């Protein structure tokens, strides 16, 4: 995780959790005036628009005081959704047996994209994914983006 992302997580995770929500993760995309800070929250019974609005107000106040992003940016607070992003080792552990879509920062065995079944975690740092009749061990630090692939019961 980039240092700016880690700084934002350390600042905002306690704020979200103090409000009674699970801090799922965040994405910070720096693009000048089009920069975006997207925070994902979850709850025991999911989250709704009012939950997102309440967290947005609280986070905005903290961001105004602490000012970790000095340029303009847009703030979004969202549920992780059915195709939720996976940020941490704990997220991957929680969804072993499900299908995932993973994009690496750099090519591994000639490819950057892996779409398949999440088989498990090895040595506390490698994600094991079964793709095209082959198992790949992908270091979690090399993952740029990972999402669950939503499949309803008839697809399983």
Question: What does the pLDDT look like over 4-45, one tens digit per residue?
Answer: 899 999 999 999 999 999 999 999 999 988 899 999 999 999
pLDDT of 34 reads 87
Strand partners, 120: 128
φ, ψ of residue 69 in degrees (nearest 5): -115, 110
pLDDT of 77 reads 98
pLDDT of 151 reads 83
pLDDT of 33 reads 84
φ, ψ of residue 74 in degrees (nearest 5): -105, 140
120: left (phi over 0), alpha (psi -120 to 50) or beta: left
Which residues does the chain have with pLDDT short of 70?
Answer: 1-2, 153-156
pTM here?
Answer: 0.88
pLDDT of 153 reads 60
141: left (phi over 0), alpha (psi -120 to 50) or beta: alpha
């Amino acid at each position: 995780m980039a240092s700016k992302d880690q700084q934002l997580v350390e600042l905002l995770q306690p704020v979200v959790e103090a409000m009674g929500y699970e801090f799922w993760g965040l994405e910070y995309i720096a693009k000048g005036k089009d920069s975006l800070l997207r925070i994902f929250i979850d709850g025991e019974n999911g989250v709704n628009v009012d939950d997102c609005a309440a967290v947005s107000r609280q986070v905005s106040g903290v961001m105004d005081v602490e000012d970790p992003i000095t340029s303009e940016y847009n703030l979004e607070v969202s549920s992780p959704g059915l195709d939720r992003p996976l940020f941490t080792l704990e997220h991957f552990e929680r969804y072993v047996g499900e299908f995932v879509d993973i994009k690496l920062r750099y090519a591994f065995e000639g490819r950057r994209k892996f779409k398949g079944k999440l088989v498990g975690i090895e040595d506390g740092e490698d994600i094991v994914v079964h793709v095209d009749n082959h198992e790949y061990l992908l270091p979690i630090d090399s993952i740029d983006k990972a999402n669950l692939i939503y499949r309803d019961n008839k697809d399983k």
